[in-house]
A and B are shown apart, each in its own frame.
Chain A
Amino acid sequence: MDLSATPIKSKSKPKSSPSKTIAASAAPQMNSSTPSKPTPRRNSKSMASPPPMSPATPSTVRRSRRLLETPTKDLSETPAKDLSETPVKPKPTPTLKRKRAAPSPKTPSQAEPKRQRRLPKQRAYYRKVVYDGGEFATGDDVYVKRREGAESDAEDPEQEECRVCFRTSGGVMVECDACLGGFHLRCVRPPLRRVPEGDWACPYCEAERAGRAIDRPKPPVGKRIRRTAKEKLLSSDLWAARIESLRREPDGAFWAKVRWYTIPEETAAGRQPHNLRRELYRTNDIGDIEMETILRHCFVMSPKEFRDATNEGDDVFYCEYEYDVHWHNFKRLADIDDEPETKEDPSDEPYNADNDYVSDTDEDSEYDEEDEPATPCVARKNQSQGLAANSRTGRIYGLQKIGIRKIPEHVRCHQKTSLEKAKATLLLATLPKSLPCRDKEMEEISTFVKDAICNDQCLGRCLYIHGVPGTGKTMSVLAVMRRLRSEFDSGALRPYCFIEINGLKLASPENIYKVIYEQLSGHRVGWKKALHYLTEHFSDGIKIGKQANQPIVLLIDELDLLLTRNQSVLYNILDWPTKPNSNLVIIGIANTMDLPEKLFPRISSRMGIQRLCFGPYNYRQLQEIITSRLKGIDAFEDQAIEFASRKVAAMSGDARRALEICRRAAEFADYRVKQLQQVGHTPSPGGNGAVCMSDIEDAIQEVFQAPHIQVMKNCPKFGKIILAAMVHELYRSGLGEVLFDKLASTVFSWCHVNRELLPGYDTLLKICCKLGESKIVLCEEGTKHKLQKLQLNYPSDDVTFALKESPDLPWLSKYL
Chain B
Amino acid sequence: MVITNGDFTELTQFSLFILVEPAPKGNCQVNFPARALPDDSLLQHSNSHGGGGARGKSSTGCLCYPAFVHSPLRSSSDTNYSKLKYLVASSVSEACNNSVLLLGPRGCRKDAVLDIILMRYPWLNGMLHSDDNCATKEIARQLCLEHQLSFSKMASSDDNTDFMIDMLRECGLAHKTVIFVLEEFDLFAQDADQLLEKRVRSRFSHRKLLFVPSSLDDIQRLMEHLLMLDKNLSLPKNYVTEYNSRLTSIFGNKKFKGILDSLTDADATTSNILRFLFRVVSYMDMESGLLSMECFTHALSCMQRQPKLDSLQDLSILELYILVCMNRLEDKEQNSYNFNSIMKEYRSIQDAYKTSDKYATTVCFRAFEHLLDRELITFADSKGRNVALEYRPVKLLISSRELAQSLELNTTCPAVLQKLLDRERYM
In the bound assembly, the distance between CA atoms of A784 and B381 in angstroms comes to 11
Contact B208 A405 (CB under 8 A): no
Complex interface: chain B residues within 8 A of A398 (CB): 147, 149-150
In the bound assembly, the distance between CA atoms of A767 and B170 in angstroms comes to 48
From A402, A429, A710, B26 is in contact (CB under 8 Å) with A429
In the bound assembly, the distance between CA atoms of A305 and B107 in angstroms comes to 56
Q: Interface code B157-170, partner A: CB below 8 Å = 1, 0 otherwise?
A: 11111110011001
B359 within 8 A of A: no
Contact B3 A563 (CB under 8 A): yes
Complex interface: chain B residues within 8 A of A710 (CB): 210, 212
A542 within 8 A of B: no
Complex interface: chain B residues within 8 A of A660 (CB): 205-206
Known: A671-B83, A761-B309, A786-B399. A390 touches B26 (CB 8 A): no
Contact A387 B159 (CB under 8 A): no
From B27, B266, B401, A759 is in contact (CB under 8 Å) with B266
From A402, A469, A592, A748, B147 is in contact (CB under 8 Å) with A402
Q: Interface code A44-84, partner B: CB below 8 Å = 1, 0 otherwise?
A: 00000000000000000000000000000000000000000
Contact B198 A785 (CB under 8 A): no
In the bound assembly, the distance between CA atoms of A706 and B192 in angstroms comes to 11
Complex interface: chain A residues within 8 A of B206 (CB): 657, 660-661, 664, 702-703
B361 within 8 A of A: no
Q: Measured between C-beta atoms, what is the minimum distance from B111 to chain A in Å? A: 15
Contact B3 A763 (CB under 8 A): no
B326 within 8 A of A: no
Q: Interface code B194-227, partner A: CB below 8 Å = 1, 0 otherwise?
A: 1000110111011110101100000000000000
Contact A402 B267 (CB under 8 A): no
Q: Measured between C-beta atoms, what is the minimum distance from A407 to chain B in Å? A: 5
Known: A702-B208, A706-B193, A757-B265. A670 touches B90 (CB 8 A): yes
- The B-contacting residues of A in range 653-687, CB under 8 angstroms, are 654, 656-657, 660-661, 663-664, 667, 670-671, 674-675
Of the candidate stretches B17-25, B68-76, B383-391, the one touching chain A is: B17-25
Q: Interface code B90-118, partner A: CB below 8 Å = 1, 0 otherwise?
A: 10011111000001111000000000000
Q: Measured between C-beta atoms, what is the minimum distance from B152 to chain A in Å? A: 3
In the bound assembly, the distance between CA atoms of A720 and B26 in angstroms comes to 46
Interface centre among A399, A416, A745 (most CB of B within 10 A): A399
From B14, B105, B309, B395, A762 is in contact (CB under 8 Å) with B309
A766 within 8 A of B: yes
Known: A717-B265, A785-B398. A675 touches B77 (CB 8 A): yes
B397 within 8 A of A: yes
A388 within 8 A of B: yes
- Name the residue of chain A whose CB is nearest to the CB of B265: A717
Size of the chain A interface, CB-CB below 8 angstroms: 92
From A430, A657, A785, B202 is in contact (CB under 8 Å) with A657
Complex interface: chain B residues within 8 A of A505 (CB): 14, 161
Complex interface: chain B residues within 8 A of A507 (CB): 133, 157-158
Contact A431 B26 (CB under 8 A): yes
Known: A564-B3, A716-B267, A757-B265. A389 touches B186 (CB 8 A): no
Q: Measured between C-beta atoms, what is the minimum distance from A774 to chain B in Å? A: 4
Contact B401 A745 (CB under 8 A): yes
Of the candidate stretches B173-181, B244-252, B337-345, B412-420, the one touching chain A is: B173-181
Interface secondary structure of A, over-half rule? helix
- The A-contacting residues of B in range 107-146, CB under 8 angstroms, are 133, 140-141, 144
Of the candidate stretches B45-53, B232-240, B284-292, B300-308, the one touching chain A is: B300-308
Contact A428 B20 (CB under 8 A): yes
In the bound assembly, the distance between CA atoms of A309 and B264 in angstroms comes to 75
A689 within 8 A of B: no
Q: Measured between C-beta atoms, what is the minimum distance from A424 to chain B in Å? A: 6
A249 within 8 A of B: no
- The A-contacting residues of B in range 21-59, CB under 8 angstroms, are 21-23, 25-28, 34
Q: Measured between C-beta atoms, what is the minimum distance from B229 to chain A in Å? A: 30
Known: A391-B154, A504-B13, A706-B194. A760 touches B208 (CB 8 A): no
Query: 5 extra interchain contacts, Cβ-Cβ under 8 A, other than A399-B166, A469-B201?
Result: A345-B148, A389-B167, A394-B150, A563-B6, A664-B207
- 30 A-B pairs (CB sep. < 8 Å): A387-B150, A388-B144, A389-B167, A390-B149, A390-B155, A391-B152, A391-B159, A395-B162, A403-B170, A411-B93, A424-B95, A429-B20, A429-B26, A504-B13, A504-B14, A561-B6, A563-B6, A656-B203, A663-B96, A664-B206, A671-B83, A708-B194, A710-B210, A711-B103, A717-B264, A718-B265, A760-B306, A760-B309, A774-B104, A775-B192
- B residues neighboring A (CB under 8 Å): 2-3, 6, 10, 13-14, 17, 20-23, 25-28, 34, 77-78, 83, 86-87, 90, 93-97, 103-106, 133, 140-141, 144, 147-152, 154-155, 157-163, 166-167, 170-171, 173-176, 186, 191-194, 198-199, 201-203, 205-208, 210, 212-213, 262, 264-268, 304-309, 375, 395-399, 401-402
